[in-house]
Structure 1
Amino acid sequence: MSYAVCRGTIAFIWFYQGLIPKLLYMHQDELAMNMAAGFSRPDAVKLATIGGALEIAMSVAILIFWRQRWPMLLTLFAMIGLLAFVILVQPMLLGAAFNPVTTNVAVAALSIVSLHHLKVIESES
């Protein structure tokens, strides 16, 4: 049960973060991060759109490849990398409500727990 909760929650977060602030409502913080990295506004919009599609694809991959480790490992490394990106290009976001620190650390922790549960499941098979 806890494996399903971890995996399902991570899939939901990838899906939501891809769809809502990137594809449906293109949040200004998404564009600001891309522009702070040196992209023009049109390129920042394109990058956010591509990022949103990739996040939704990651959500689907987590569900399709339910018993595989790579989606959780990719999630873990992505959370570390994306947090480092925010720290470098938009450090002011670190003090915001519902900021990248809390989200990325929580998703990374869920990934670790999911990987642990998967190891236990594999050893029992």
Structure 2
Amino acid sequence: MNSIQIARITIGFSWIYHGIFPKLIHVAPLELAMTSTVGFSVEASYLITKAAGILEVIFGLLFLVFYRMKSIVYLNIAGLTMLLLFVMLQMPSLLIEAFNPVTTNLPLIALSFTLLNRADECGTHNKGG
């Protein structure tokens, strides 16, 4: 398996996993807490968390299929960056916890840039996005 496929599968799997397990199968209390920091009620936070889980699974599947499109890779980078900034602003104490957004989002962002750079070297990306 080459580096492009490793990056593609790792990024797609991460979105799918984070959509299914802490949001759809079992809504993790931390997920609800993060959503609640914006001011939503517990009930609304629960629904928003479930919706986010569905969107994450869909994005992960789309990423697995359309990983050659620069636009989806850049969307991935933007999404991961925004989620990290959200945690930094809303719940900065999470940044020093085990398995925190820094140790998950930054490596996925790095893999995204690796995917972009490697694909450009191989000429496999859709230039139009």
TM-score (norm 2): 0.91
1:15 CA drift (Å):
0.4
Q: Which residue in 2 is equivalent to 1:18? A: 19
Tell me the alpha carbon deviations over residues 64-121 of structure 1, each in whole angstroms, 9 at most, x when there is no partner: 2132112211110111110000011111111110001110101111111011112112
Q: Does 1:29 align with 2:30?
A: yes
Q: Work out the CA distance in 2 between the residues paired with 1:9 and 1:43.
A: 31
Q: Is the 8 A contact 1:3 1:117 kept in 2?
A: yes
Q: Which residue in 1 is equivalent to 2:69? A: 68
Q: Which residue in 1 is equivalent to 2:3? A: 2
Aligned-residue RMSD, C-alpha = 1.1
Q: Is the 8 A contact 1:58 1:71 kept in 2?
A: no
1:10 CA drift (Å):
0.2
Q: Work out the CA distance in 2 between the residues paired with 1:121 and 1:52.
A: 33
Q: Which residue in 2 is equivalent to 1:54? A: 55
Q: Which residue in 2 is equivalent to 1:109? A: 110
1:36 partner letter = T
Q: Which residue in 2 is equivalent to 1:78? A: 79
TM-score (norm 1): 0.94
2:94 partner letter = L
Runs of 4+ in 1 over 3 A off after TM superposition: none
Q: Secondary structure at the match of 2:35?
A: helix
Q: How many residues align?
A: 123
- Between Structure 1 and Structure 2, which shows a larger proportion of helix residues? 1
Q: Secondary structure at the match of 1:56?
A: helix
Q: Is the 8 A contact 2:94 2:100 kept in 1?
A: yes
Q: Does 1:121 align with 2:122?
A: yes
For structure 1, the residue ranges without an aligned partner over 5 or more in a row are none
For structure 2, the residue ranges without an aligned partner over 5 or more in a row are 125-129
Q: Work out the CA distance in 2 between the residues paired with 1:35 and 1:19.
A: 20
Q: Work out the CA distance in 1 between the residues paired with 2:67 and 2:74.
A: 13
Q: Work out the CA distance in 2 between the residues paired with 1:44 and 1:103.
A: 23
Q: Percent of aligned pairs with the same residue?
A: 37
